[in-house]
Structure 1
Amino acid sequence: MNPGSDLKFLFIINPGSGTNRQDWPAIISNYFNNLNHTVKIYQLHGDFSRQTVIEQIVSFLPDTVVAVGGDGTIKLIAECLVNTKVPLGIIPAGSANGLAKELDIPEDYEKALNLLVTGVLKKIHLLKINNQICIHLSDIGLNAHAVKKFETLPGRGMWGYIRASLKVLRINPMIKVEIALDNKVIKRKAHMIVVANATRYGSGALINPLGKLDDDLFEVVIVKKISLGELFKMIFSHNPYDSNKTEIFQTTKLTLRSARKVYFQIDGEYIGKVNEVQAMLLPFALEIIVPPAAG
C-alpha cells in the first residue's frame, strides 16, 4: 500500500464481535483525521447478510474493504471480494481472531490501523466447502460441536470457548467416515476431521503444521484419538503427531461422507449438521493486506 496516496477505505464493523466493546467509529475516525484518505464506516446490525455488504461496496467503490470483527465477519466480507481486485484489510475484534494471528496482523488496533496504509498485498488461496467460502479452517465433530455450544453460552472470549469445549468433550461420539482425496479413498473413525487452509486455531493450537495459505494444496487432518500428549503438541511443543492418533493428508479436492449427520463449522461459524462435505481449492482468490514480512 502507498501511505501517501489518497485511498478509499470502507470499514465494515460488527459490533457483536468479541468481548472488547470499543468505540470503533471514533477510533477509526481519529486515526484517519490527519491522513489523506477517504473513509466510510458501516456498522452491521440485526439480521445482516452478504447482500448488505455488497450494496455498501457498490455504492462507495472502495480501494480497500476492512473487516472489523472476528473470523465470521472476515468470512462474510471475503465472500464479497472473491476474485475482485479489491483487497481485504483486517482489524481483529473477535473472540479468537484466528486468521489475523495466522497472518501476523497485530491485535493492537493502532498497529492494525497503521498496517492498512503501510502493509503489502498478499494473494491467498481459499477453499470452497459445501458451496461456502472458507479462508481459514473448517471441521466436523468435536470442535464444531464446541462452536455450536459456545454460541449458546453467556459470555464470549477464549474462556467461553474453553467452557464450551469441556462441556462437549465428554459426550463427543466417534465419527465414521469415508474420505475421497485426489488419489485415494480411505475409511476412518475419528473425534474430529479438519479441512485446513491454514495452520492454527485462534486459541493458538497448531492443528495443521503443513498449512500454507498460498500453496497448491490443502490439508485434511484426522484426529482419531484425543490424548493429553497430542494436545500438548498442538498447543505447546508442536512436535510431530503420533500417526496412530492424528493423520494429515494433502489434496486439492475432497469428498467426505459420514454414516450419520455431524456438527459442522466454517471459520468459527456453526453451519449445522451434515453427512457430506465437499471441498476444493480456489487458487489466489483473495488479496489481503499483511505485514511486509508476511507478504
Structure 2
Amino acid sequence: MSRRKLVFIVNPRSGVERNKQVQQAIDQIIDKDLYEYEILHTQRAGHGEDLAREAAANGVFAVVAVGGDGSVNDIIRGLYGTGTALAIIPKGSGNGLARALQIPMKVEKALQLINRGKTEMIDIGKANGKIFASNAGLGYDALICKKFANSNRRGLAIYSWLVTKYMWLYRDRSWTIRVNGEELKRKAFLINVANGTQMGYNFKIAPDADWTDGLFDLVIIRKFPKILGGLLAYRMFDGSLLNSRFVERIRTDRVEVSAPDLKWMQTDGDPVSCAETVVFEMLKGVQKVIIP
C-alpha cells in the first residue's frame, strides 16, 4: 500500500529551538510505514494559505498546521474547497481551535493522533466572506484580539491583563441583529458567532457548541455592571457562561449584525477590518479534520 503524504507548515515565530524540537518529534513519532512527509516554513503573513493550497492541489492527505489560531486559520483558507484534511500541532498562545477540537497540547500526543488518522467533516463559518473555523466576534472581544495582536508579549498573563484593563474602558454598543426572521435591538458588550466552544486559553464562549450541527451559537453578552466582569470571566472558565442573566444564546445558520461606526471584527482571534454590517454564514461539513 502506498504511503499517504503529509505537509507540515510551521510558523517560525515560535523560535528556532522550539522548531528544532518539533522537527525532532516529527521525525521520531510519525509512522513512516503510513506516511511520507515534508516540513515547510512560512515566510510572511498569509504564506500558510498559499502553501496549503499548493499542497492540496498536489493531492496530499493532510496539511498539518504547526502554530497558533492565526496559522491554523491561514491553512484552513488554503484548504477550503479541497478534499485535503487539516491536522493541528498547537504551538500558539491561546490555541482555541485545537482546544475546541480536543487536540492534545503536547506535540508528541498530537503527532500520535495523526498516526491514528481518524477524520471528521466539520462546519466552517464565513464573516463577510472571510473564513473562520472556531468563532468570530464583534465588540469587546474584537478589541481584545486587536490589542493582543499589537502586543510584543504573549501568554495568559498579558491576555488576562488586557481583558481586565479594557473591561473597564470599553463602552457598550447598540447593535441591530437580524436572525431567524427577526430584527433584534441590543445594547451589548460583545457579540460572538461561535462554531467551536472557545476563544482560547479555555475561555469557553459557547460551551455546548457543535462543529457538526450546521448551526452557529450566537452569544450576546448584554450590558452588565462592570463589577461583575470577573464573575463572567470565571463563568467562561468553568463552562457556565450561558447561565448568566446577562447572556443570550441563539442558534442559527445565518446572522446579520450591524452597528454605527463598526470598524473591527475578529475571526479565530485575528483582528480584521470590517464594514458596519457583518453577515455570518454557515458552511456545513466542508472541512476534513484529523481528530481524537
Same fold judged by TM-score > 0.5?
yes
Query: C-alpha displacement at 1:54, in angstroms?
Result: 2.0
Q: Deviations over 1:198-237 (max 9, x none)?
A: 1122121221134100002112111113523333322226
1 CA distance for matches of 2:89 and 2:68?
A: 9
User: What is residue 29 of structure 1 aligned with on the other side?
Assistant: 27
| Aligned pairs for 1:115-154 within 5 A | 115-154=113-152
2 CA distance for matches of 1:78 and 1:207?
A: 21
* Maintained 8 Å contact 1:140/1:262: no
User: What is residue 184 of structure 1 aligned with on the other side?
Assistant: 182
**Amino acid paired to 1:279:** F
User: What is residue 233 of structure 2 aligned with on the other side?
Assistant: 231
Query: C-alpha displacement at 1:160, in angstroms?
Result: 2.2
User: What is residue 269 of structure 2 aligned with on the other side?
Assistant: 268
- 3-state SS, counterpart of residue 169 of structure 2: coil
| Aligned pairs for 1:61-140 within 5 A | 61-140=59-138
2 CA distance for matches of 1:32 and 1:69?
A: 18
Change (3 A) 1:36 1:193: closer
Under a length normalisation based on structure 2, what TM-score does the superposition of the two structures give? 0.90
Identity of aligned residues (%): 29
Query: C-alpha displacement at 1:102, in angstroms?
Result: 1.0
Change (3 A) 1:172 1:133: same
Query: C-alpha displacement at 1:46, in angstroms?
Result: 2.5
Q: CA RMSD in A?
A: 2.2
Q: Deviations over 1:177-204 (max 9, x none)?
A: 1000122110001111101111122121
* Maintained 8 Å contact 2:62/2:87: yes
* Maintained 8 Å contact 2:219/2:247: yes
**Amino acid paired to 2:207:** P
2 CA distance for matches of 1:239 and 1:36?
A: 43
User: What is residue 10 of structure 2 aligned with on the other side?
Assistant: 13
Gaps of 5+ in 2: none
2 CA distance for matches of 1:237 and 1:132?
A: 28
2 CA distance for matches of 1:18 and 1:149?
A: 22
2 CA distance for matches of 1:129 and 1:41?
A: 31
User: What is residue 52 of structure 2 aligned with on the other side?
Assistant: 53
* Maintained 8 Å contact 2:266/2:272: yes
1 CA distance for matches of 2:262 and 2:241?
A: 33
Q: Which has the higher helix share?
A: 2
**Amino acid paired to 1:166:** T
Query: C-alpha displacement at 1:174, in angstroms?
Result: 0.9
* Maintained 8 Å contact 2:193/2:219: yes
